């Protein structure tokens, strides 16, 4: 029996799944974040090592467990230089005293970005498109010829259109303009004050600037826009519609770049933005169907770490 490891390393947590050669996930383990661009390579190594250790410990088959392949799908890994850094990390993993036997060859080590493993985990194969809209946003596609196309993923300053962060920022702008009298009245103003327990909207200055709120804290305000939009607020619905338009435009760009207009394919949606009450998923799916009748928008069939394990397993069958 062959065993492989699939690693999903993101900005908030690392997930490791142990899979056998029958595509069965035996167990999973979790640990802290592993985006080396933000936390450094040593902390990333520790998180990945801990996730593997937790998974293998739970499997309780350490006496015979030999790992024949591994795939690491990590946030922030997109350039050739990044891949070289992670190759060094894999060497360190094999030198550490993990309770497993390594049987890795260079061809059985897959290093890629987290968008690819989200695509494979979400759809179950390597062909299709993933539209990730969480704290940030990115659209990534791969066709039958192996050609890929990425749109977005430029971060909260340069991009991330359609993300929870950008939705939250638009919400704050709308609430402040409403308070100024520059825009029509919106329930976002009161919703904002209640959610943050503000006596007045001016207190927002203290929350955002003096408390030095980060990206994730601001992005966590997006559900208030979702609730207001679901309740019929005009401004909130404009914000949601704008987010949908940006995500549809990004997805269309990927389709036009590596597929044909009549291609039959699936688009998997991942991230917190899609789980709202205002039917943003339905709005997006309807817009895509109108432009591309043969494209089906779906929710993930499985998690990203599962996709990483499938990619690892694929190397043992070539």
Per-residue pLDDT tens digits for 263-292: 899 999 998 889 888 889 999 999 999 999
Residue by residue, DSSP assigns 210-228 as ITT--HHHHHTTHHHHHHH
Q: What number of other Cβ atoms are within 10 A of residue 1's Cβ?
A: 10
Which bin fits 76, alpha (ψ -120 to 50), beta or left (φ > 0)?
left
The confidence score (pLDDT) of residue 313 equals 94
Cα–Cα distance for residue pair 247/292, rounded to 1 Å = 14
Give 232: exposed, middle or buried? Use CB within 10 Å, 0-12, 13-18, 19+. Answer: exposed
CA distance to 21, 36, 297, per residue, from 8 (Å):
19, 13, 23
Query: Phi/psi class of residue 181: alpha, beta or left (left: φ > 0; alpha: ψ in -120 to 50)?
Result: left
pLDDT tens digit at each of 318 positions of the chain: 789 999 999 877 899 999 998 889 999 999 988 888 778 889 999 999 999 989 988 877 656 688 999 999 988 787 888 899 899 999 988 887 777 888 889 999 999 988 999 999 999 999 999 999 887 889 999 999 999 999 987 777 777 788 888 888 887 777 777 766 676 656 666 666 777 776 766 677 777 776 777 777 777 778 878 878 888 878 888 888 999 999 999 999 999 999 988 889 999 999 888 988 888 999 999 999 999 999 999 999 999 999 999 999 999 987
243-257 pLDDT, tens digit per residue, is 999 999 999 999 999
Residue 211, sorted as left (phi over 0), alpha (psi -120 to 50) or beta, turns out to be: alpha
In this structure, are residues 18 and 28 in contact, taking their beta carbons and an 8 Å threshold?
yes
Q: At 303, list the tokens.
A: 């998690």
Q: How far apart are CA 93 and CA 74, in angstroms?
A: 15
- Tokens read off for 251: 């997805």
In this prediction, residue 174 carries a pLDDT of 74
Long-range contacts of 175-180 (CB under 8 A, 24+ apart): 175/201, 175/204, 176/201, 176/204, 178/235
């Amino acid at each position: 029996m062959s065993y492989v490891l699939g690693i999903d390393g993101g900005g908030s947590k690392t997930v490791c799944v142990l899979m056998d050669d029958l595509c069965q996930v035996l167990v999973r383990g979790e640990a802290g974040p592993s985006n080396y661009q933000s936390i450094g390579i040593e902390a990333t190594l520790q998180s990945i090592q801990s996730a593997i250790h937790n998974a293998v410990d739970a499997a309780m088959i350490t006496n015979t467990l030999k790992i024949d392949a591994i795939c690491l799908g990590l946030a922030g890994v997109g350039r050739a230089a990044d891949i070289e850094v992670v190759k060094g990390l894999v060497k360190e993993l094999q030198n550490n005293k993990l309770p497993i036997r390594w049987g890795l060859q260079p061809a059985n080590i897959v290093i890629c970005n987290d968008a690819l493993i989200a695509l494979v985990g979400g759809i179950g194969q390597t062909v299709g498109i993933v539209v990730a809209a969480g704290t940030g946003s990115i659209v990534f596609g791969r066709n039958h010829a192996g050609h890929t196309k990425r749109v977005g993923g430029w971060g909260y300053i340069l991009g991330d259109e359609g993300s929870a962060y950008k939705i939250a920022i638009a919400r704050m702008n709308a609430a402040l303009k409403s308070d100024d009298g520059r825009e029509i009245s919106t329930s976002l103003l009161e919703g904002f004050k209640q959610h943050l327990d503000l006596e007045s909207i001016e207190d927002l200055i203290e929350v955002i600037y003096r408390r030095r709120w980060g990206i994730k804290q601001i992005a966590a305000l997006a559900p208030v826009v979702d609730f207001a939009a679901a309740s019929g607020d005009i401004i909130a619905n404009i914000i949601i519609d704008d987010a949908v338009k940006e995500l549809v435009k990004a997805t269309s760009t990927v389709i036009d770049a590596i597929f044909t207009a009549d291609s039959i394919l699936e688009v998997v949606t991942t991230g917190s933005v899609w789980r709202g009450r205002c039917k943003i998923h339905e709005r997006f799916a309807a817009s895509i169907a109108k432009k591309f009748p043969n494209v089906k928008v779906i929710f993930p069939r499985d998690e990203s770490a599962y996709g990483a394990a499938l990619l690892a397993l694929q190397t043992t069958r070539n």
